[in-house]
Amino acid sequence: MANARMLAAKANNTNIGSFIIMALVLGSCVANGEYLGGGRELTGNPTVFDITQFGAVGDGRTNTFKAFLKAWIQVCASPVPATLLVPKGNFLAGPIIFAGPCKSKVTVNVQGTISATTSGFATPEWILFERVDNVHLTGPGIIHGRGEAVWAADGCGKKFKCNLPPTSLKFRNIVNLEVSGISSVNAKAFHMFLVKTVNVNIHNIKIIAPAESPNTDGIHLSNADNVRILDSFIGTGDDCVSVGRGSNNVTVERVVCGPGHGLSVGSLGKYLNEEDVSGIHFRNCTMRNTDNGLRIKSWGGSTPSKAVDIHFEDIIMENVKNPIIIDQNYGSRGGESRVAISDVLFKGVRGTTITKDFVQFMCSKSVPCKGVRVEDVNLNFVGNKGGHQSASGGLIGSLCNNANVILGGKVNFPLCPK
């Protein structure tokens, strides 16, 4: 405990390495059954810890990371369910680590705004929840990444190796996570990143960034199982939702996407020996003015893996570019992809597109796509200016390479001409 207090005292004089201090103090204090601020034990009814009671100032200028640390230690050590409250105000904060394990269920209730500092990030995330089971992040407050200050310097694109700016919200090694009510605005890179999480319920959130903001994926999943993303609005400069390696049993329903790069599985195969992906279902979603629609993407030159049971159903599109895509030549690395894609369904897709090739299946020669079903797809080509139909009045066709495509129901365009 003495070491923890010494680190905390040092934090009063410097902001350097604040995220390291937070993790070390939490581990030391909880292990000793003591808390930064007096060592009192918590008993009784569920407890609320307001960060302003620990020195936070909501003026948008004062770095409040120490107040988050002090409040979190109390919340995490509580033997009864406890809440960390961010009241109304604009609270500036550098890197924050909410580390567990905790003794009971914890809630972080954001009523105001948490704004990121523009520098001082030694790790690839701004706010990290790690090893905290049974956690609920709720709003209606705002997580503001202030990405506009760094986007101009982001030259990552599709580079194989690149150090992205920090993710706004990362959840790692968590069982039973709920996120609701919050808004994430202008993340420096990814808005929300789930890795090694199980049993996740994300609903009624907003994710907002300009269409031109680079690498601002809305929600990205990696090794995430049993995930539900429901009733939310996501408009960014990259994928609205991207489901990556090792993710299984993912449901995305009633999500409005746009602007952005669409609803995606992948990219897959970027790294060696990636885990398989299965049971990814998108239903009853709306896409508006997106650069891509429904997409599966994998890197060339990958090691073997599988992507199976991927369904896109009952999707409304408004002026969408590249509405239906399987792209196994994604990225800049050469060679054939060895991600085996099978049991894919595109059903009940309707609306308007600005691309003449409605369906583009560009599968791998080494592992052709199998069991790709296209059913009841009714798209209208409107040209490059939404709302004005082209002179031809409709669709040109589709492209299919190395794909076993099964046609069903009503489709208003010629599918995969030989």
Q: Is residue 45 part of a domain?
A: no
Number of domains in the chain: 1
Q: Specify whether the CB–CB gap between 82 and 49 falls below 8 A.
A: yes
Q: Is residue 62 part of a domain?
A: no
Count Cβ atoms within 10 A of the Cβ of residue 294 and give its class: 0-12 exposed, 13-18 middle, 19 or more buried: buried
Point out the catalytic residue in the list 136, 191, 261, 388: 261
Count Cβ atoms within 10 A of the Cβ of residue 31 and give its class: 0-12 exposed, 13-18 middle, 19 or more buried: exposed
**Whole-number pLDDT of residue 17:** 43
Q: Is residue 320 part of a domain?
A: yes
Q: In terms of residue numbers, what domain contains 166?
A: 126-146+160-384+392-411
Q: How far apart are CA 53 and CA 64, in angstroms?
A: 12
* 136 in catalytic set: no
Q: Which residues pair with 297 in a beta bridge?
A: 327
Q: Is residue 90 part of a domain?
A: no
Q: Is residue 342 part of a domain?
A: yes
**Whole-number pLDDT of residue 304:** 96
Q: Is the peptide bond before 81 cis (omega within 30 degrees of 0)?
A: no
Q: What is the CATH number of the domain that holds 269?
A: 2.160.20.10
**Whole-number pLDDT of residue 100:** 97
Q: Is residue 363 part of a domain?
A: yes
**Whole-number pLDDT of residue 152:** 81
Q: Is residue 418 part of a domain?
A: no
Q: Is residue 406 part of a domain?
A: yes
In this prediction the pTM is 0.88
What is the mean pLDDT for each group of 10 consecutive residues in the chain (418 residues)? 34 40 39 34 62 97 96 96 97 97 97 94 94 98 95 64 87 98 98 98 98 96 98 98 98 98 96 96 98 96 96 98 95 86 98 92 96 96 58 60 93 74
